[in-house]
Amino acid sequence: MTMIKDSVHDYIELGPTAEALLDTAAMQRLRSIRQLSTVQLVYPSANHTRFEHSLGVYHLASRAVDRLELEADLAERLRAAALVHDVGHGPFGHQTEAAIERHLGRHHDEIEWFLTDSDLGDALEEQGLDPEAVAATVDGRGPFGELVSGPLDVDRLDYLVRDAHHTGVPYGTIDHARLLYSLQTVDGTLALEADDVATAESALIARTLMNATVYRHHVSRIAGAMLDRASERLLADGAIDAERFARLTDAELLATLEDHAPTAEFSTRLRERRLYKRAVWTRRDDVPDRFAGLEYERTRDLEREIADVAGVDPAAVIVDSPSEPSSPESRARIVVDGELRRLEERSSLVAGLDACAAEIWRLGVYARPDDLEAVREAASSVLAVEADVVP
Amino acid sequence: MTMIKDSVHDYIELGPTAEALLDTAAMQRLRSIRQLSTVQLVYPSANHTRFEHSLGVYHLASRAVDRLELEADLAERLRAAALVHDVGHGPFGHQTEAAIERHLGRHHDEIEWFLTDSDLGDALEEQGLDPEAVAATVDGRGPFGELVSGPLDVDRLDYLVRDAHHTGVPYGTIDHARLLYSLQTVDGTLALEADDVATAESALIARTLMNATVYRHHVSRIAGAMLDRASERLLADGAIDAERFARLTDAELLATLEDHAPTAEFSTRLRERRLYKRAVWTRRDDVPDRFAGLEYERTRDLEREIADVAGVDPAAVIVDSPSEPSSPESRARIVVDGELRRLEERSSLVAGLDACAAEIWRLGVYARPDDLEAVREAASSVLAVEADVVP
Amino acid sequence: MTMIKDSVHDYIELGPTAEALLDTAAMQRLRSIRQLSTVQLVYPSANHTRFEHSLGVYHLASRAVDRLELEADLAERLRAAALVHDVGHGPFGHQTEAAIERHLGRHHDEIEWFLTDSDLGDALEEQGLDPEAVAATVDGRGPFGELVSGPLDVDRLDYLVRDAHHTGVPYGTIDHARLLYSLQTVDGTLALEADDVATAESALIARTLMNATVYRHHVSRIAGAMLDRASERLLADGAIDAERFARLTDAELLATLEDHAPTAEFSTRLRERRLYKRAVWTRRDDVPDRFAGLEYERTRDLEREIADVAGVDPAAVIVDSPSEPSSPESRARIVVDGELRRLEERSSLVAGLDACAAEIWRLGVYARPDDLEAVREAASSVLAVEADVVP
Amino acid sequence: MTMIKDSVHDYIELGPTAEALLDTAAMQRLRSIRQLSTVQLVYPSANHTRFEHSLGVYHLASRAVDRLELEADLAERLRAAALVHDVGHGPFGHQTEAAIERHLGRHHDEIEWFLTDSDLGDALEEQGLDPEAVAATVDGRGPFGELVSGPLDVDRLDYLVRDAHHTGVPYGTIDHARLLYSLQTVDGTLALEADDVATAESALIARTLMNATVYRHHVSRIAGAMLDRASERLLADGAIDAERFARLTDAELLATLEDHAPTAEFSTRLRERRLYKRAVWTRRDDVPDRFAGLEYERTRDLEREIADVAGVDPAAVIVDSPSEPSSPESRARIVVDGELRRLEERSSLVAGLDACAAEIWRLGVYARPDDLEAVREAASSVLAVEADVVP
């Protein structure tokens, strides 16, 4: 057993399989991908990486499989899946996943391709693990796959706490020790004791408050939108192969953007934190339905239209009309009198939290500071919104 | 300036007035009253006292008056009120306040009587403070009284965080630094920035989760109900003068109960943690309306009726039908576009949290372990409830 | 398994034996004895009790026996001994242990008498444990007794961390997880890896800094000395039986002092924090050797002599000439190349820390504020010291 | 005032000058330089950056100048110097500072060159600050320069706590609030109250334990030595201009190493954590004096000599014979009876800590795993040491 010191879980014990898996370029790369990508532009302490998060998820999975007394092979697979679950992430994690999906047609949770084409796949096989089965587990399929990807998976139990710890906001402090103790299986399905509804609710609440103060902070959203547009341009221009793109680190993406003239400005702006500003920032109620939760192509058309009206460079207008925040935690299962229920059926909080999530939705239009007034006016007429920045 | 080390706020700076007030028997007595009274029977670390809580409330008040740049005299009064706000508490705090109200007709927030009849009143006057004005402030009246007693007063900002810290549950971790920064006055009324709705909501949430896991825990409720009945007996028997009773410490009340034969058993049971058990523990939906939120006299009648049916000592049946938990935090004021709104008008969470609060309500009937079955049966027929203990 | 939430160790798992032992009056009494007795007069948050500390020691013992893979019976005995190790403490713990030793001739670690004369002894037997063997373990004797009472026992690992947590000083934060991982046995003797010298040193350091800022703080020493003199008077006057005295709680001792006229003043002073003040507070170098580390009888003679010279009541002069602080941690064993060494042989720090300990030694003479000048002058001539209060 | 959330100090208030200075490429670059460079290869959570550390140092400086009630202009200069004190660092901070000194002849604390040749210099002037005076302050010169660079400067108060927080080791938890409160000036010199010797000692202790467990951990030293040799090769080969080198970020240095054939292997090894291993790791007593604390040229000669004897590539042998750890904190000044003393004169701990520091010294010889045995043997004969790896 090797012990690793972690700022969230104190000591993490690594078995020989975990050590072998960590000893791959694929896993070591995660040291260079920040867990919260651009959030550090708002919360300067948020520099934790997908590497330490992966160790944390492994730790929680280890404790869960011990707790559930799973048999050795299954336990080994679940621990391995927990450890490698993030290897499919591109540079800046979620901020480039849409670009990668558009160009490669796959999501970061689908890592089968990765396990068959990296030193990590070999390492899994050497440890007697089937890469396909591990990939399925990462995707939430197969026995106890929901432990790694499900409503109350060990991934979110780690990141809600870790993200709160590193941003310094107190909201994410879930009682994960109690959630793990409360875990049980009913007919092969993971569930929590009815007694522990309050503990499960605390995970939903942490999610809701983290959305409001961290995950959906406008500075991070602006930086993320800039990264998406720059990445799209890079890929559309063929300046980099999409497979290669998907394996870059954060810094490598910035360097690649720098080297390609049409995207160089984005890289400099992100590095020097000279971001686009909000020309429009409007609540859901004030946005016509046809402009809420837009498809990508439609978004780009609107950007061009606004740029045209405003008389500015089309690359310099970003429309950001996100889908509504979801709370998968509300589908966690609760055992009530021996029967399984969804948390949302048992908890009056869930509806309130959903409403909360809707309240923090904003339509954003972002532009260079110099273009701000022109873009605001143009966006107002094109999108038929009060061009305003509301709190 | 004297510095005092506090486990929640790190260092607390005391000015000369605070030092003089602390130097009274009335304030020193608070070292012997646990903040969470019987909660330590469930959470063994919850031994913090009303003394350290008072220091914490003083600290937050000091920061708030600095932040609001109040003039010196008002600031001094508010700090003093914050420091002494809990001197009116009887032994075991909230657990005896109903008994005290029945016998003395006053609430622990009404401390004018106290300030005119203790060394603390003299100390206030020596410091140039008017005891009446301080008492009014403690009761939430007068300029900025809501800072000491109001929807987001410094009292609750301290106790929600402190109680979480000492029980070890993570729920109470409000971002009080940000709440204080966000504080402002609009036409003399305290309010928070609209930007900070999420921070204000976190206080409501902390309250809701603390209610569910700590404040309304059945073990603490049982111990509290036992204390109430024992105190009532003591006072009804004239074994102690009510004014004297109201000034006991926790340990002194136990000793007084021990010395009076009819209440000695209660004292031993509380000391040795051999508490009554739940004969009935039923959700609101399963309780006929006429038995929810009962008046005290009605409760005692029902206890006698159940005891009679069960054939047990009337002192050995306790009916506990509490009022519904309230969340005063939902009435905190928010500034939206320069206008004041209640948090409940701006936050979809509030309704969800209210529903949550309703969900944790339980009707309890408690009895000695030996009498449990007999009392359960009797209570079931008298109260027309399914005699069950639900989670 | 029952889970208990603890503010230091998060969750503590209790087995059935632990539950049965906790369910005794002897263990429940520890809820009413503060771990740091009079330290709360300096650090108002230091209200943690010997009850929660006992749970913490039990928790660390459980982890250690798991780590060492001890056989079941021995493990059970060690856990039980860890849990009950403090039942022999009198009211206010260390502050009355000298008085108890003078009158009963036994130390709080000798609990055999207690286990044969309390419900706890019966509970141990019911759980299949031999009270004598448990008592021996508490005293550090028998197999692995040093785990419960030895240079790096689980007692001090818990209290150094817990005391720091509750006073709010950061010094006691030992890496106990790593110490436990590092634990091993060499020929039946507990030892740490040579690699972990820094971790072991951190325990010594925590002790040294806690001595300086917490354990030997003059306010706590004054209050402790007052308690000792009051207790002595109580016992000498036969106002209470010594066996009964040894089983009081903190509050019961104060009440007992109150009820006995010659000691009532002490009780009021402790309750209202109107303590004696320092007439003399002098470093070791400035004190003639014959007055350093005095026997009790000699101390009382000096008090009378000083009172006589000063013309004050002999009960109103307290001489406090303590022995030098020890650091048992320095005798912890380290495995170097398979051989056992004492930490003090391997660590250059130990000598420095011993010197540090010597530096914080002070001779104190305490008196009522009104008598201060008279006593200072008298003490100066009787003790041949510069009558001064140095930092 | 802008508020920034920090994981160590909670909220940091930024004035307009600080905001303007942060808004420069020079300061934003610090987001891409890890505070502990290669330590994250041992402690995966240690990803905090010089940017957030700079904010922390600024915060402590702000509190100190408030506490000392310095006049406005001086306070402004000290805050600015605190904020920018780290801009002179090269990539990977201390790990390349020797290479930079060899090629540019300057230390990272000498930032005058930088302030006259960057947007930061302009920003300082725009804020009415003299870049030269700020540079002098960063170097510890001029009025209160020691607050920014001195025995107990705000730099080390921040990093000892921050490094402990992010590595997860508990040792660095200095009571910085108390240190700041205790700060005063005697004839223009910063000093601490004699009362607070224990607090000052805690800083020394934190340093000693952090040296042992974090700063001088062999994995980090190996990685650092690899970086130094690779950087030297890059600069000696003229593959990059030295001025440009000094302004790279961590990731940019790795990319630059990757692009230069002779250093590419180093980059890959660091990225994938396939580091050199210890062929020799020997205590000071076992090393002939002539090989302790070697000059750089001598070190390189020895590397070549060992490689020659071992028959391996000279680039593949690294000799690491560091100077002894220093503890500048021991020269902090203490006020005793109105006179200034050095902490080392007042504290018996200092000598012990110095001895401790000497004990953790090791001579290291590092090589590729394949070459390990050959290099060990060669090094043993060349350096006349027992070729061993001791704990």
SS (H, E, C) chain C: CEEEEECCCEEEEECHHHHHHHCCHHHHHHHHCECCHHHHHCCCCCCCEHHHHHHHHHHHHHHHHHHHCCCHHHHHHHHHHHHHCCCCCCCCCHHHHHHHHHHHCCCCCCCHHHHCCCHHHHHHHHCCCCHHHHHHHHCCCCCCHHHHCCCCCHHHHHHHHHHHHHHCCHHHCCCHHHHHHHEEEECCEEEEEHHHHHHHHHHHHHHHHHHHHHHCCHHHHHHHHHHHHHHHHHHHCCCCCHHHHHCCCHHHHHHHHHHCHHHHHHHHHHHCCCCCEEEEEEEHHHCCHHHCCCCHHHHHHHHHHHHHHHCCCHHHEEEECCCCCCCHHHHCEEEECCEEEEHHHHCCHHHHHHHHHHHCCEEEEEECHHHHHHHHHHHHHHHCCCCCECC
Query: How far away is chain C from the Cα of A154, in angstroms, using its nearest Cα?
Result: 19
ipTM of the complex: 0.93
Give the mean model confidence (pLDDT) for residues A135-152: 94
- Output the pLDDT for position B286: 92
Query: In chain D, what is the straight-line distance between the N-terminal and C-terminal CA atoms, in Å?
Result: 51
Report yes or no on D347 lying in a domain. Answer: yes
* Domain shared by D174 and D210, yes or no: no
**Domain CATH number, residue A86:** 1.10.3210.10
- Check if the beta carbon of residue D119 is closer than 8 Å to that of residue D28: no
Q: Coil, strand or helix: which one is B366?
A: strand
Is the alpha carbon torsion for B243, B34, B162, B328 positive or negative?
A: negative
Q: What is the dihedral of CA C351, C355, C356, C357, to 10 degrees?
A: 100
More confident residue, D140 or B356: D140
Amino acid at residue number A92: F
How many domains does chain A divide into?
1
CA–CA gap between residue A47 and residue C87 (Å, rounded): 48
Report yes or no on B305 lying in a domain. Answer: no
CA–CA gap between residue C275 and residue C218 (Å, rounded): 11
Q: Residue B102: which H helix or E strand, with range?
A: helix B94-104
> Smallest Cα–Cα separation from B83: which of B23, B141, B172?
B23
* Domain shared by D296 and D350, yes or no: no
Give the mean model confidence (pLDDT) for residues B131-148: 95
Count the Cβ atoms, other than its own, within 10 Å of residue B73: 11
Instruction: Nearest by CB to C173, from D170, D193, D350: name it.
Output: D170
Quote the domain boundaries for residue D314.
276-324+361-391
Contacts of C170 in chain D (CB under 8 A): 173-175, 202
Report yes or no on A221 lying in a domain. Answer: no
Q: In D, what residues contact B, Cβ < 8 A?
A: 3, 10-11, 177-178, 181
Report yes or no on B83 lying in a domain. Answer: yes
Residue pLDDT, tens place only, C29-86: 999 999 999 999 999 999 999 999 999 999 999 999 999 999 999 999 999 999 999 9
CA–CA gap between residue B241 and residue B279 (Å, rounded): 34
* Domain shared by D18 and D128, yes or no: yes
H runs (alpha helix) in A69-186: 72-84, 94-104, 112-115, 119-126, 131-138, 145-148, 154-167, 176-182
The whole-chain average pLDDT of chain A stands at 92
Contact A209 B198 (CB under 8 A): yes
Query: How far away is chain B from the Cα of C275, in angstroms, using its nearest Cα?
Result: 11
Residue pLDDT, tens place only, B49-96: 999 999 999 999 999 999 999 999 999 999 999 999 999 999 999 999
Report yes or no on A22 lying in a domain. Answer: yes
Give the number of B-D residue pairs with CB atoms closer than 8 Å: 12
Q: How many angstroms separate the Cα of C290 from the Cα of each of C100, C300, C302, C321, C356?
A: 26, 15, 12, 11, 22
DSSP bridge pairs for A319: A365
Contact D195 C352 (CB under 8 A): no
Contact C5 B167 (CB under 8 A): yes
* Domain shared by C157 and C305, yes or no: no
Give the mean model confidence (pLDDT) for residues C201-229: 91
Report yes or no on C267 lying in a domain. Answer: no
Report yes or no on C366 lying in a domain. Answer: yes
- Output the pLDDT for position A172: 64
- Output the pLDDT for position B172: 64
* Domain shared by C6 and C153, yes or no: yes
Instruction: Nearest by CB to D356, from C193, C208, C348: name it.
Output: C348
CA–CA gap between residue B341 and residue D22 (Å, rounded): 36
* Domain shared by D94 and D207, yes or no: no
- Check if the beta carbon of residue D306 is closer than 8 Å to that of residue D329: no
Which residues have CB under 8 Å from A289's CB, separation 6+?
Answer: none
Contact C10 B168 (CB under 8 A): yes
Give the mean model confidence (pLDDT) for residues A238-249: 97
CA–CA gap between residue D309 and residue C13 (Å, rounded): 59
Q: Coil, strand or helix: which one is A74?
A: helix
> Smallest Cα–Cα separation from B51: which of B79, B9, B19, B87?
B87
* Domain shared by C6 and C155, yes or no: yes
> Smallest Cα–Cα separation from D177: which of D146, D202, D194?
D202
* Domain shared by C156 and C288, yes or no: no
Instruction: Nearest by CB to A25, from D7, D49, D272: name it.
Output: D272
Residue pLDDT, tens place only, B319-344: 999 987 777 888 889 888 788 988 88
Asked whether the predicted pLDDT for residue C249 surpasses 80, the reply is yes
The chains found to touch D (3+ Cβ pairs under 8 angstroms) are A, B, C
Residue pLDDT, tens place only, A33-44: 999 999 999 999
Amino acid at residue number B171: Y
pLDDT tens string for chain D (391 positions)? 799 999 899 999 999 999 999 999 999 999 999 999 999 999 999 999 999 999 999 999 999 999 999 999 999 999 999 999 999 999 999 999 999 999 999 888 888 888 888 899 999 999 999 999 999 999 999 999 999 999 889 999 999 999 999 998 877 678 888 888 888 888 888 998 887 888 888 888 888 888 888 999 999 999 999 999 999 999 999 999 999 999 999 999 999 999 999 999 999 999 999 999 999 999 999 999 999 989 999 999 999 999 999 999 999 999 999 987 777 888 889 888 888 988 888 777 787 788 777 888 999 999 999 999 999 999 999 999 886 777 7
- Output the pLDDT for position A177: 85
Contact D173 C171 (CB under 8 A): yes
Query: How far away is chain D from the Cα of C216, in angstroms, using its nearest Cα?
Result: 12
Which residue in chain A is spatially nearest to D251 when comparing CA positions? A251
Report yes or no on D242 lying in a domain. Answer: no
Contacts of D177 in chain B (CB under 8 A): 10-11
**Domain CATH number, residue D314:** 3.30.70
Residue pLDDT, tens place only, C139-184: 999 999 999 999 889 999 999 999 999 998 877 678 888 888 888 8
Residue pLDDT, tens place only, B294-325: 999 999 999 999 999 999 999 999 999 998 77
Pick among C196, C199, C286, C390 to test the D interface (most D CBs inside 10 A): C199
- Output the pLDDT for position C177: 85
Q: Final residue of a domain: which of C168, C187, C204?
A: C168
Asked whether the predicted pLDDT for residue C291 surpasses 70, the reply is yes
The chains found to touch A (3+ Cβ pairs under 8 angstroms) are B, C, D
Contact A391 B175 (CB under 8 A): no
Asked whether the predicted pLDDT for residue C217 surpasses 90, the reply is yes
The whole-chain average pLDDT of chain C stands at 92
Asked whether the predicted pLDDT for residue B169 surpasses 90, the reply is no
